Structure 1
Amino acid sequence: MWHKTGMIVHERDPYNAETSREGLLAPITGAASFYVRNHGPVPDVDERTWSLAVGGLVESPARLTLAELTENFAHHEVVATLQCAGNRRSGFLPVEDIPGEDPWGPGATSTARWTGARLGDVLRSAGLRDGAAHVEFEAPDVSDLADPPQRYGGSVPLGKALADEVLLAWAMDGDPLPRVHGGPVRVVVPGWIGARSVKWVERITVRTDPSANWFQATSYRLLPPETDPDSAGPGDGISLGPVALNCDILTPEPGERVSPGPVRVRGYAHAGEDRGVARVDVSGDGGATWVQADLAEAASAWAWRHWQASLELGTPGRRTLLARAWDTTGACQPESAGALWNPKGYANNSWARVQVRVGAQD
């Protein structure tokens, strides 16, 4: 389904929509085209009455209004790409179906310029006590995906929470944070899966251990392929945190007909946490030969890199274009989606594949 803004809508209740390939070509996505991942109804939060409780293992528990947050803490800005753990899930479907999960394509990722207070500044102002090791976020949106239904939440290790790039953001691209994107205030955790950038945050709790919230303890975990996800419990599988190295092809689009000869191929690549994108290779002959793409500069250490390459597609017929990224540690994306398939469809970072039609006829 297509939304009037060009978004690809997977669900309307709760609202879940990904950015179109065309929308992903811009270095800054824009709020109207930024992907949306919700687990329950979008809450109606009034910024005039909103407040943020800070508690747990802190010396001075506090409750901050929006005015206190914006006036008492230094403002910081970071350009950061957020990416859903289910980004490119549709690439798993030819391997095996994934019932009950939205078939996200490459558009469950977007980039914005975020403005807010550093989470670390807020935590330090409250004073951290001995034993502090994790920071939990809680929001008011209630999801019936959990049994029984519960508020959405999650946590990150204290070291990440104190990092300079992690914000309590109240602005997106210079404007007040839209409600659908977590306004009036959301957490922005660059380099980690979008599930940890909790929207509409109302409570922060410093803990000794990770959050026991269903979305932290049970949901966003990578399970072995033979596991029944409905029977998986807290702690099963691998907890998802930093984003896996990934890339995809944005143009040409799947099924597009192109003229024989040189074809311009464009896409994005993103490496999570403190890794950068170092190289992208593109192939028009199934991987027999590769062309090194030209990489655009990243807007920040936490933002994706766009790339482009010219491929010579001279033979009419169906051709599969491939792309693979390398990060600054020298790691490359895995080739096969089949080797990565898991019953929740998380973390598909296999090589990008787009089939096109060359020439006037197949």
Structure 2
Amino acid sequence: MPGLIAPSDYSREPPRHPCLKINAKEPFNAEPPRAALVASYVTPVDYFYKRNHGPIPIVEDIERYSVIITGLIDNSKDIFMKDIWSLPKHTVTATLQCAGNRRTAMSKTRKVRGVGWDVSALGNAVWGGAKLADVLELVGIPKLTKSTPSGGKHVEFVSIDKCKEENGGPYKASIPLIQATNPEADVLLAYEMNGEPLNRDHGYPLRVVVPGVIGARSVKWLDSINIIAEECQGFFMQKDYKMFPPTVDWDNINWSTRKPQMDFPVQSAICSLEDVNHIKPGKITIKGYAVSGGGRGIERVDVSIDGGKTWVEALRYQKPGVPYIADIEANSDKWAWVLFEAEAEICQSTEIVAKAVDSAANIQPENVEVIWNLRGILNTSWHRVDVRLTHSSM
């Protein structure tokens, strides 16, 4: 790709914030402390989780950089940054979440394969860029198109990023054409994050942002966009990020029996407390996040301070001073997380639990065992933390 290169080693990696918990150094995968997530509705770029599959690409000449749109269309076209910048700019507040968020807790039930994420493999950002629906009109694909005349039904995004899972080939993923051409789906070719140009870790100069869908489909460092008849056949669509039942293991797995995971189920986690906490008796504030895929709002967050025997409803909010109402777009960001808060009087050692309900009445499962899967994805079980009282000596 002119102007953009993928290094063959890790000697030119960008700087990262020292507070990040590094789960893998090469390629770099890291998450912030959980308490940092609930410090603000919009996650600072430095604290936004880093998910990579190889060395970080480098832009050598932004003027020469372009993305080719090709495939089952009449005419292929090179799209330069000036073409993207000339289109109407849209901003979308959206939470991206790795499908493996909370994998570490799932692995305690039975071992799974994958990066050992805690509860912070997600973040909420304000993404700026052109709607993919507008970009595809540049090559003659109208809005709300299900299929091109040549039979294109999916949009494949190919990165310049090279990864071992593709035998040194590029990272790639796809979404249905109808989603790509629907302006209401808010799929972006993003060049900004929180009002600033994307940094290298997050896809500079151009990435896809697919709101409401697992982060694996929001491809970074775009090289090409292909209009194809079937789903992308890449590794991360066909042999990863699929949800299998607990009975499937590496000896009997048949990848073709499951569709690639897209929407994320309803999820929540407590962030103001660690897995095990030693505190004095008294009042505490319990804070965390809740989010669901597909643009579904958060109808309720329930918090228990007795291991799930009794519950109270937590306060939900996005922007200070603005009431949060699930699925009322005038008052809420439908693709973004909701922060929650509850007060509790702690008089004895106990287990604190959180669970969320989305606007379609989907609820988190109580136990991780029923959703265990060999890749450790979509751990949306009730989030539990232990609180142990310490008494000051006289």
- Per the TM superposition, whether the score is higher than 0.5 is yes
The match for 1:61 among 76, 83, 104 is 76
Contact 1:218–1:232 (CA under 8 A) maintained in structure 2:
no
**Aligned: 1:349 with 2:380:** yes
State the Cα deviation string for residues 167-215 of structure 1 (Å, max 9, x = none).
0000111111101100100000000000000000110011121001111
Contact 2:17–2:46 (CA under 8 A) maintained in structure 1:
no
Which amino acid is 1:255 matched to? V
State the Cα deviation string for residues 208-251 of structure 1 (Å, max 9, x = none).
21001111111121233343448756524341101111000001
**Aligned: 1:288 with 2:321:** no
Contact 1:283–1:311 (CA under 8 A) maintained in structure 2:
no
Post-superposition offset of 1:348: 0.5
The match for 1:17 among 9, 30, 33 is 30
Post-superposition offset of 1:112: 0.7
Contact 1:51–1:64 (CA under 8 A) maintained in structure 2:
yes
CA distance in structure 2 between the aligned counterparts of 1:249 and 1:231, rounded to whole angstroms: 35
The match for 1:198 among 219, 228, 232 is 219
Contact 1:143–1:149 (CA under 8 A) maintained in structure 2:
yes
State the Cα deviation string for residues 38-77 of structure 1 (Å, max 9, x = none).
1122122332332101111223321011122112x11111
Post-superposition offset of 1:276: 0.7
Rate the CA distance shift 1:4–1:117 in 2: closer, same or farther, 3 A.
closer
Aligned length: 354
Contact 1:19–1:110 (CA under 8 A) maintained in structure 2:
no
Post-superposition offset of 1:308: 0.4
Spell out the pairing of 1:297-336 with structure 2 (5 A cutoff): 297=318, 300-315=333-348, 317=349, 319-336=350-367
SS at match of 1:120: helix
CA distance in structure 1 between the aligned counterparts of 2:217 and 2:251, rounded to whole angstroms: 22
The match for 1:104 among 104, 112, 117 is 117
**Aligned: 1:50 with 2:65:** yes
The match for 1:151 among 142, 151, 170 is 170
Look up the match of 1:279. Answer: 300
CA distance in structure 1 between the aligned counterparts of 2:137 and 2:305, rounded to whole angstroms: 52
- Say what the alpha-carbon RMSD is for the aligned residues: 1.7
**Aligned: 1:235 with 2:256:** yes
The match for 2:92 among 70, 74, 78 is 78
Percentage of matched positions with identical amino acids? 36
Contact 1:133–1:207 (CA under 8 A) maintained in structure 2:
yes
Which amino acid is 2:76 matched to? P
Q: TM-score, normalised by structure 1?
A: 0.93
SS at match of 2:84: helix
Contact 1:218–1:233 (CA under 8 A) maintained in structure 2:
no
Mark the runs of 5 or more structure 1 residues left unpaired by the alignment.
none
Look up the match of 2:329. Answer: none
Mark the runs of 5 or more structure 2 residues left unpaired by the alignment.
1-15, 142-147, 319-323, 325-331
Which amino acid is 1:158 matched to? L
Spell out the pairing of 1:120-131 with structure 2 (5 A cutoff): 120-128=133-141, 129-130=148-149, 131=151
Contact 2:298–2:358 (CA under 8 A) maintained in structure 1:
yes
The match for 1:139 among 159, 162, 167 is 159
Contact 1:284–1:322 (CA under 8 A) maintained in structure 2:
yes
Q: TM-score, normalised by structure 2?
A: 0.86
